[in-house]
Structure 1
Amino acid sequence: MRAPAFWSQPQPDWRGKLLSPLGMLYARATANRIAKGQAEQLPVPVICVGNINAGGTGKTPTVMAIAEKLRDQFHDPHIVSRGYGGIETGPIEVDPLRHNAEMVGDEPLLLSAFARTWVARDRVAGARAAIAGGATAIILDDGFQDPSLAHDLSIVVVDAETGFGNGLCVPAGPLREPIGVGLSRADMVLTIGSAAAQERFDDRVLPGALPHIRAALAPLRTGMDWTGMRLIAFAGIGRPDKFFETLRALGAKLLRTEALGDHQKLSAAFLTRLERDARAENAQLVTTEKDAARLPAAFRSKVITLPVRLSFDNPEALDTALKALPVPSSSTQNA
């Protein structure tokens, strides 16, 4: 599913205004669900990486970065995800040798390369399984509106380019809940985007005392020279254009781009067409790491990926918060 274009406008247009009563009902339902939840406190710290916007804002690279930071502080972090797009209900630990994206979802499959990752529709059960497996910290992927677990640190991730869109809730706009309501539960906001996008982001909507961290996605240096490379690029992420713009900035020649819906299934017919077109135009197929996780095993050698990682402008508040998290003793882990 692709988000409607009118969601990203800075002010609501007639469509947003027409649908705003439904958006208020959606917000009320979310608030009621959160209010009725019984947040369970775990014996290890829980870091929630979530968003207020529906769809992709950069949570996956944020989870990767936090896993690395926690390991630097002698934690054994495990990731817990609902496994969106997969059929497994869990709790189950993701094993790339046994699982594919149809089973556990594309994001958990990708994240499992960075830290031990668990898929569970019941996040409490997933977290308990991770603790039993030795986790000293839980990174909760996309659990900001789930009231079942207490969070020791809640990070709201925002795409700096689109911000909070027209400021309305689904289906009138891109929000899962009103900005002020959501941010009142957050410990910090992380905006991801270029320097120009960060300049345009209106941080006046943020509470004054809420730490605001800025970061950008930067291509991982692999030694590959993209200059002049003839490419057919496809991506099914929150904003595929970001991926295409990154390739162009590296000097690649994009003969064609295919913008897919977030998590869109890669059908055999679609991939066959791409392979035929690439052969006809003497081009290389390229996609994101997350999309590559959904490729059939037999097709992966035909597609290259452009890996990106998060680069922080001002990580001090995040680093301080992570360092303040306790490292549980072995007896605490087994509690």
Structure 2
Amino acid sequence: MRAPGFWFLPPQRRDLRALLLAPLGRLYAAATARRLRRGDEGAYRASVPVICIGNLNVGGVGKTPTVMALVQRLAARGLTAHVVTRGHGGRLQGPVRVDDRRHSAAETGDEPRLLAAFGPVWVAKDRAAGVRAAEAAGARIILLDDGFQNPSVAKDLSLVVVDAEQGFGNGLCLPAGPLREPVETGLARADAVLSIGPAGAQAGFRGLWGGALGSLPHLTARLAPLDTGMDWRGARVLAFAGIGNPAKFFDTLRAEGAELVRAEALDDHQPLSQALLARLEAEAFALDAQLVTTEKDAARLPPAFRPRVLTLVVRLEFDAPEALDHLLAPLLPPMPPSVPPQA
């Protein structure tokens, strides 16, 4: 389902629908708080550091690119991070290590298959079981993807990710707004906030939500296309995307110079059926356009169809990478001293 627009009106402009649903939102928040209190008592404490990448909002905010960036940042320190994820949209219960050659997106979900290109990924509906499996496989550090409201695993560091443009929406919990729990409640458990978006959106986010962040470390980053050698300037494309915010993908294509002759916004994680793909291919042919999609959607394409679709690859770029390193430092072994080159 697509998120209703009134969820993302600023708190001072909440409309009647949000106000009428607000009592249900308070009940939702109370249920989340009760579940967290009960679960914390039996949380599994891993023998290695566990870093949680989570959010307060439902839907996509940029967690997957954040996990990718953290895996690569840790790899630069000589650490292979294991990712433990629920595998949204997949049918496997796990814990099972994702094998791109053996598993389909229908089994694991699209994001785990995408992340598996960067390092070991475990799908586990039971997060604690997934963490144990990663430990048994020799993990020295674990990234818990989207587990901020899951109390079954103790976290050593919790990073709350937010879309700078959308912020925390109208500040209300489901179904009155986009939040899983109130902002002040969630941020009280967080160690840092990462807002993702361009400079203008970042300024707006700080203006609206800076007070709620208080003294909490605030990292900023943006998504930027990866240079794959593809020149998008003047390319006629029919773009489709089933991510949290398809409009951002379409805007990125336009910014790269592509001529977007049609944009098909799908629901997040929507299955790419043969009928849907056949329709999109026929429309692209009629418009003399090339099909293009996101990395996450490409992970759900049938293998035989993938060569017919181009992928726009984006990566997360931190505005101050040293701030991230400072945040991670207490959990990591010290870097070995550099050896000066011999004369």
Contact preservation (8 Å) 1:76, 1:134: no
> Which of the residues 77, 102, 112 maps onto 2:106?
102
Report the AA paired with residue 69 of structure 2: A
The equivalent of 1:170 in structure 2 is 174
Identity of aligned residues (%): 62
Residues 45-72 of structure 1 show CA distances to partners (whole Å, capped at 9, x for unaligned) of 0000000001110000000000111111
1:32 lines up with 2:38 in the alignment: no
Distance 1:317 1:108 in 2: 27
Q: CA deviation at 1:75?
A: 1.4
The equivalent of 1:18 in structure 2 is 20
The equivalent of 2:244 in structure 1 is 238
Matches within 5 A, 1:143-292: 143-201=147-205, 202-292=208-298
Q: TM-score, normalised by structure 1?
A: 0.96
Distance 2:122 2:25 in 1: 32
Note the residue ranges of structure 1 that are not aligned, 5 or more in a row. 329-335
Contact preservation (8 Å) 1:190, 1:213: yes
Q: CA deviation at 1:316?
A: 2.6
Report the AA paired with residue 9 of structure 1: L
1:138 lines up with 2:145 in the alignment: no
Distance 1:104 1:162 in 2: 28
The equivalent of 1:47 in structure 2 is 51
Deviating beyond 6 angstroms after TM superposition, the runs of 4 or more aligned structure 1 residues are none
Residues 113-132 of structure 1 show CA distances to partners (whole Å, capped at 9, x for unaligned) of 01110000011110111111
1:301 lines up with 2:307 in the alignment: yes
Q: Which deviates further from its counterpart, 178-187 or 129-138?
A: 129-138
Residues 2-43 of structure 1 show CA distances to partners (whole Å, capped at 9, x for unaligned) of 111110111321000000111011100100000001222110
Q: CA deviation at 1:326?
A: 3.8
Q: TM-score, normalised by structure 2?
A: 0.94
* SS of equivalent to 1:125: helix
Q: Quick one: higher RCO (CA 8 Å, sep 6+), 1 or 2?
A: 1
Distance 2:126 2:209 in 1: 34
Distance 2:71 2:192 in 1: 17
The equivalent of 1:129 in structure 2 is 133
Distance 2:330 2:232 in 1: 41
Distance 2:211 2:275 in 1: 45
Contact preservation (8 Å) 2:191, 2:216: yes
Distance 1:170 1:317 in 2: 32
* SS of equivalent to 2:224: strand
* SS of equivalent to 2:202: helix
Distance 1:2 1:203 in 2: 24
Report the AA paired with residue 55 of structure 1: G
Distance 2:332 2:317 in 1: 25
Q: CA deviation at 1:207?
A: 3.3
Distance 2:204 2:187 in 1: 20
* SS of equivalent to 1:217: strand
Q: Indicate how the Cα distance of structure 1 residues 68 and 308 shifts in structure 2: closer, same or farther if over 3 A, else same.
A: same
The equivalent of 2:2 in structure 1 is 2
Contact preservation (8 Å) 1:91, 1:129: yes
* SS of equivalent to 1:297: coil
Contact preservation (8 Å) 2:167, 2:209: no
Contact preservation (8 Å) 2:7, 2:169: yes
Q: CA deviation at 1:76?
A: 1.8
The equivalent of 1:332 in structure 2 is none
Distance 2:38 2:322 in 1: 34
Q: CA deviation at 1:327?
A: 4.4
Distance 1:118 1:222 in 2: 28
Q: CA deviation at 1:203?
A: 3.3
The equivalent of 2:339 in structure 1 is none
Pairs aligned (count): 328
Distance 1:108 1:48 in 2: 16
Residues 204-263 of structure 1 show CA distances to partners (whole Å, capped at 9, x for unaligned) of 243322000010000000111100000000001111000000000000000000011111
